[in-house]
A and B are shown apart, each in its own frame.
Chain A
Amino acid sequence: MSNFFDKSDLTRKDVDEIVSNTLKNCDDGELYFEDSKSESIVLDDNKIKSSNYSSDLGFGFRAISDEVVAYSHSNEISKDSLKNSAKSLQSTLKSIKGTYNHEIPKTNNKFYDAINPIEQKTLDGKLEVLNNVNEYLRKKNSAVKQVTATFSGEQKSIEIIRSGGESLTDVRPLIRFNVSVMLEKNGRKETGVYGIGGRQSYDDYLKNDNWKNVCEEALRIASVNLDSKPAPAGEMKVVLGPGWPAILIHEAIGHGLEGDFNRKKTSAFHDLMGQKVASEGVTIVDDGTIDKRRGSLTIDDEGTPTERTVLIENGILKNFMQDRLNARLMNTRSTGSGRRESYKHIVLPRMRNTMMLSGKNTQDEMIKSVDKGIFAVSFGGGQVDITSGKFVFNCTEAYEINNGKIGSPIKGATLIGDGPSILKEVSMVGNDMMMDPGIGTCGKAGQGVPVGVAQPSILIDKMTVGGTKL
């Protein structure tokens, strides 16, 4: 474990003293140290376009009284800097008093190894894979006009120091390997993108020339889109494929079940606890404990061990996702969902790996049951308005369905729906649940954190498809 202040004028005794003194009249808070190392190596347009390495060290100091959060962060690790931060916190909370809450549950679980993926593969090795990707794709198909391939890796070490000297640590590896390809045929251009990743070394994902499978998938998506025709416009039935399309769950339901929006009563779900919000057979969990997944965490960014939180069980709303602040104010416990992008950001309740569990139907049954609709296989990204509940996501691979048969591919279109009612429109849940390939980043309040999603195929009876063809 690296010591975050051993090269500064701070001793552990100083740190413990400053933390304890600052937080003694507060309800909660901690000092959070973070040391992150990251790299990104990009091949683009037949060349190694950039190789970038970054190292960042800093602290974030937080004090909470009742609902008020005071936060101060800096990348100058010194006694002066920490004391300045402490002063800034005390000035915000000067007239407020609380009772410090010490308890953090303990865990011996570890959901990933404390490796540094950047050091585990040589630069030459990475360059070789990138060049192989470029050559492979351009040789494979003469319509390939552009290839971009990227390695991104990081190791983030954190230490949380609480009042009384309690210390909680974690070392988090994360990698992503991504391929984007553009095809041009008869004046038409289309792109296909595919990636893989998680909390292991690059080679755990790339062994057995697995990079070829990533290339093939990107190429397949682009080829399908070259033949796509304008998407239909209006309300219709939608079949979603398994895996990554679960960003529908993430946008439509997930964000609305985060503790902060519900404490503030600004979520469309805030008064629906215990009520039916989805069709029978729909069960959704948010799980931080799946081995080596992108959204998994041994402890969250407040030190709470993560867990598998049941959000919706057989259609009934069971739990919100909580950090310590919102849990305390809503008289419940943290679900280990307190996360932050870095030491520069405050903790918010966030998703980890959000999953709809398998049901009984087959994808085939779903397709056969649809007279007119679309079959959506892959998505770009989504967004939600928590308050009105309206959410969107963008198809990157979709087909029309006519009379129970899959037809032509259709152009990328935005799908829009209403979060609190969409899951009541789910009429079939597939038996084919699949995790996404490990590529998701969720944005909230300007902070991006890695997340995962999973779902089986599902049939939604009514959704608005934003094509151009009336």
Chain B
Amino acid sequence: MIKDQEYLKSKASYCLDLAKKLGATDASVTIGNSISETVNFRNKVLDESNRSDSLAMGIETYVGKKKSSISSSNLSEENLKILIEKCYETTKITPEDEFNSLPDKELLAKNIKDLNLYDQSHIENDKKIDYLKELEEAASIDKKIINTESSFTEDKSNFILANSDGFCNGYKSSSFTASCVAVAKYENNMERDYEFTSKCHLNDIFNPSELGKIAAEQTIKKLNPKKIGSDKLSIIFDKRISKGFLSAFAGAISASSIARGTSFLKDKLDQQVFSNEINVIDKPDLIKGMGSRSFDSEGVKTDTLKLVSNGILNDYLIDTYNGKKLNLKSNGRSGGSTNLYFENGNINYDDMLKSHSKILYVTETIGHGTNLVTGDYSVGANGFLIENGEFKYPVNEITIAGNLNEMFKNIILANDLEFKYSINSPTMMIDGMTVAGK
């Protein structure tokens, strides 16, 4: 069983009291517990079971404008005492920083909405095994599938965030995740692909045979890829890739990158950064949302932000420290975006496929080729070549490159948005990128 709020609160107040008693002027503490149980299957038999029970604390102590932090997994009072003393001593000799402070009191979350993020259902390992058996049966119907690996994880967690200004809140959350990775072989070529489902509530996850079937189909489709020639092409990004551009966007508009001057979107507030059909929303109070939260990692309330409307950048993702540096108020985004998404575009998926005579459809990218300082983008990719709206053959061992400044302005979105992850995008098309191949 995960620790209840009372236990976590008592540990949190012990830490805060001790820090204050030692001489800290302010302090903020997080105590969290999470229990995770995973079962892994491979080729229709049990491969691994894994149970994890983690308890952790982190505290920041302030002495005026001086600050330092410690974290530990050992919550015995004896150990906490040693560590908090160490933290306080370190704080005293750390240089002052005028922007260090707890969040403004009036910004702290007061009404905590129930976002239905916790499902108390417990699924025993034997039931997880049944699920995975059915999943892998469905995944291995085709003889071309030579290996399947699947996994089921149940996570439960609870936490308390407390600070010396009287904020003390936390809540339980849960997630149920199943995934399947398949390997297909035809002659000398092997390919791998995957599908997964992850939800706060057990009843909302995919049915196992559906999941296995999708993973297998996607893998088989990739067999016998060709390398294409270098060219300027229109590229369609599958939903599992298009959301990555929103992650890059979120990184570039974080107050920390803006304050440090290391973002290609610095000084772009109130300017056109996307084409004028594009709207970007960050919605923290989505019921059962994978990124939902009632307050950020400092306790600041979170409201829905319309980050981009008609292509114009309206706001950054702001935490207390970097907000003060930029002379802006925190908007509750310490720890980043919540449920971030592009609103739907106007074109449907099928029309998008037919919009050019030759299109590269990207289903996977590899490498870390996004430079948020310059906006330069270059990654390895694979996917499919589409001619006149039809999938012709799989493509791999190519790279795609461009610059996010221009790419953002060329984004066209389909109208097929779904809330599968915490960051979500419809299918996306970008014209005029460079494909390097043969």
A residues lining the B interface (CB < 8 Å): 7, 44-45, 47-58, 67-76, 81, 85, 88-89, 91-92, 123-124, 127, 145-146, 182, 184, 188-191, 231, 233-235, 264-266, 268, 344, 346, 380-388, 390-394, 411-418, 464-470
Which residue of B is nearest A8, CB measured? B76
Q: Is B74 an interface residue (CB 8 A)?
A: yes
Q: How large is the interface on B (under 10, 10 to 19, 20 to 34, 35 or more residues)?
A: 35 or more
On whether A55 and B79 interact (CB within 8 A), knowing A75-B73, A127-B95, the answer reads yes
On whether A394 and B69 interact (CB within 8 A), knowing A190-B374, A466-B379, A466-B380, the answer reads no
Q: Which residues of the partner chain B approach A387 to less than 8 Å between Cβ atoms?
A: 183, 190-192
Q: Is B110 an interface residue (CB 8 A)?
A: no
Question: Do B52 and A73 touch across chains, with their CB atoms under 8 A apart?
Answer: yes
Which residue of B is nearest A96, CB measured? B46
Which residue of A is nearest B48, CB measured? A69
* Residues 176-210 (chain B) with a chain A CB within 8 angstroms: 183, 189-192
Q: State the CA gap A411–B73 with chains docked (Å).
A: 43
Q: Which residues of the partner chain B approach A75 to less than 8 Å between Cβ atoms?
A: 53-56, 73-74
Question: Do A392 and B396 touch across chains, with their CB atoms under 8 A apart?
Answer: no
* Residues 262-296 (chain B) with a chain A CB within 8 angstroms: 262
Question: Do A189 and B90 touch across chains, with their CB atoms under 8 A apart?
Answer: no
Which residue of B is nearest A130, CB measured? B95
Binary per-residue interface labels of chain B (359-370) against chain A in the complex, 1 for a CB within 8 Å, 0 otherwise: 000000011110
Q: How far is the CB of A159 from chain B (nearest CB, A)?
A: 16
Q: Which residues of the partner chain B approach A81 to less than 8 Å between Cβ atoms?
A: 53
Binary per-residue interface labels of chain B (370-398) against chain A in the complex, 1 for a CB within 8 Å, 0 otherwise: 01011010111010000000000000111
Q: Which of B68, B230, B378 has the most CB of A within 10 A?
A: B378
Question: Do B86 and A45 touch across chains, with their CB atoms under 8 A apart?
Answer: no
Q: How far is the CB of B57 from chain A (nearest CB, A)?
A: 10
Question: Do B379 and A52 touch across chains, with their CB atoms under 8 A apart?
Answer: no
Q: Is B70 an interface residue (CB 8 A)?
A: yes
Q: How far is the CB of A423 from chain B (nearest CB, A)?
A: 16
7 contacts between A and B (CB under 8 A): A53-B90, A71-B48, A85-B51, A346-B50, A414-B367, A416-B380, A466-B369
Question: Do B90 and A416 touch across chains, with their CB atoms under 8 A apart?
Answer: no
Q: Which of B56, B380, B399 has the most CB of A within 10 A?
A: B380
Q: Is B260 an interface residue (CB 8 A)?
A: yes
On whether A392 and B366 interact (CB within 8 A), knowing A412-B376, A466-B380, the answer reads yes
On whether A412 and B378 interact (CB within 8 A), knowing A234-B436, A468-B434, the answer reads yes
Q: State the CA gap A182–B264 with chains docked (Å).
A: 13
Question: Do B47 and A68 touch across chains, with their CB atoms under 8 A apart?
Answer: yes
Which residue of B is nearest A91, CB measured? B125
Question: Do B231 and A470 touch across chains, with their CB atoms under 8 A apart?
Answer: yes
Which residue of A is nearest B73, CB measured? A75
* Residues 221-240 (chain B) with a chain A CB within 8 angstroms: 225, 227, 230-232
Question: Do A385 and B367 touch across chains, with their CB atoms under 8 A apart?
Answer: no
Q: Is B106 an interface residue (CB 8 A)?
A: no
Q: Which residues of the partner chain B approach A76 to less than 8 Å between Cβ atoms?
A: 53, 55
Q: How far is the CB of B223 from chain A (nearest CB, A)?
A: 10
Question: Do B367 and A394 touch across chains, with their CB atoms under 8 A apart?
Answer: yes
Question: Do A394 and B368 touch across chains, with their CB atoms under 8 A apart?
Answer: yes
Question: Do B378 and A146 touch across chains, with their CB atoms under 8 A apart?
Answer: no
On whether A189 and B262 interact (CB within 8 A), knowing A53-B87, A234-B437, A383-B368, the answer reads yes
Which residue of A is nearest B66, CB measured? A48
Q: State the CA gap A27–B227 with chains docked (Å).
A: 45
Q: State the CA gap A390–B383 with chains docked (Å).
A: 13
Question: Do B73 and A233 touch across chains, with their CB atoms under 8 A apart?
Answer: no
Q: Which residues of the partner chain B approach A54 to less than 8 Å between Cβ atoms?
A: 70-72
Question: Do B51 and A48 touch across chains, with their CB atoms under 8 A apart?
Answer: no
On whether A191 and B373 interact (CB within 8 A), knowing A47-B95, A264-B147, A380-B368, the answer reads yes
Q: Which residues of the partner chain B approach A67 to less than 8 Å between Cβ atoms?
A: 42, 45, 47
The answer, among A70, A189, A412, for a CB contact under 8 Å with B48, is A70
Q: Is B438 an interface residue (CB 8 A)?
A: yes
Q: State the CA gap A231–B371 with chains docked (Å).
A: 14
Q: Which residues of the partner chain B approach A382 to less than 8 Å between Cβ atoms?
A: 367
On whether A265 and B192 interact (CB within 8 A), knowing A344-B54, A412-B371, A466-B379, the answer reads no
Question: Do A50 and B397 touch across chains, with their CB atoms under 8 A apart?
Answer: no
Q: How far is the CB of A247 from chain B (nearest CB, A)?
A: 12
Question: Do A383 and B437 touch across chains, with their CB atoms under 8 A apart?
Answer: no
Question: Do B230 and A470 touch across chains, with their CB atoms under 8 A apart?
Answer: yes
Q: How far is the CB of A388 from chain B (nearest CB, A)?
A: 6
Question: Do B369 and A394 touch across chains, with their CB atoms under 8 A apart?
Answer: yes
On whether A68 and B400 interact (CB within 8 A), knowing A387-B183, A414-B369, the answer reads no
Q: Is B335 an interface residue (CB 8 A)?
A: no
Q: State the CA gap A30–B53 with chains docked (Å).
A: 18
Q: State the CA gap A4–B382 with chains docked (Å).
A: 48
Q: State the CA gap A53–B85 with chains docked (Å).
A: 12
Question: Do A417 and B397 touch across chains, with their CB atoms under 8 A apart?
Answer: yes
Q: Is B93 an interface residue (CB 8 A)?
A: yes
Q: Is B214 an interface residue (CB 8 A)?
A: no
Question: Do B398 and A71 touch across chains, with their CB atoms under 8 A apart?
Answer: no
Which residue of B is nearest A225, CB measured? B374
Q: Which residues of the partner chain A approach B74 to less than 8 Å between Cβ atoms?
A: 55-57, 75
Question: Do A464 and B68 touch across chains, with their CB atoms under 8 A apart?
Answer: no
Q: Is B115 an interface residue (CB 8 A)?
A: no
Q: State the CA gap A290–B59 with chains docked (Å).
A: 38
Q: Which residues of the partner chain B approach A465 to less than 8 Å between Cβ atoms?
A: 399, 436
Q: Which residues of the partner chain B approach A51 to less than 8 Å between Cβ atoms?
A: 68-69, 90, 94
On whether A55 and B72 interact (CB within 8 A), knowing A7-B78, A48-B94, A72-B51, the answer reads yes
Q: Which residues of the partner chain B approach A391 to less than 8 Å between Cβ atoms?
A: 366, 380
The answer, among A74, A89, A145, A412, for a CB contact under 8 Å with B369, is A412
Which residue of B is nearest A85, CB measured? B51
Q: Which residues of the partner chain A approach B97 to less than 8 Å between Cβ atoms?
A: 47-49
Q: Is B430 an interface residue (CB 8 A)?
A: no
Q: State the CA gap A69–B94 with chains docked (Å).
A: 46
Q: Which of B78, B125, B401 has the most CB of A within 10 A?
A: B401
Question: Do A73 and B380 touch across chains, with their CB atoms under 8 A apart?
Answer: no
* Residues 20-63 (chain B) with a chain A CB within 8 angstroms: 42, 45-56
Question: Do A88 and B51 touch across chains, with their CB atoms under 8 A apart?
Answer: yes
Q: State the CA gap A51–B397 with chains docked (Å).
A: 43
The answer, among A7, A53, A182, A392, for a CB contact under 8 Å with B380, is A392
Q: Is B259 an interface residue (CB 8 A)?
A: yes
Question: Do A191 and B262 touch across chains, with their CB atoms under 8 A apart?
Answer: yes
Which residue of A is nearest B50, CB measured? A71
Question: Do B147 and A467 touch across chains, with their CB atoms under 8 A apart?
Answer: no
Question: Do B368 and A466 touch across chains, with their CB atoms under 8 A apart?
Answer: no
In addition to A88-B51, A184-B261, 16 A-B residue pairs with Cβ atoms within 8 Å of each other are A7-B78, A48-B94, A53-B90, A72-B52, A75-B53, A127-B95, A182-B373, A190-B373, A231-B378, A265-B146, A413-B401, A415-B399, A416-B366, A416-B397, A464-B437, A468-B378
Question: Do A45 and B47 touch across chains, with their CB atoms under 8 A apart?
Answer: no
The answer, among B146, B183, B262, B366, for a CB contact under 8 Å with A146, is B262
The answer, among A50, A58, A123, for a CB contact under 8 Å with B73, is A58
Q: State the CA gap A233–B434 with chains docked (Å).
A: 8
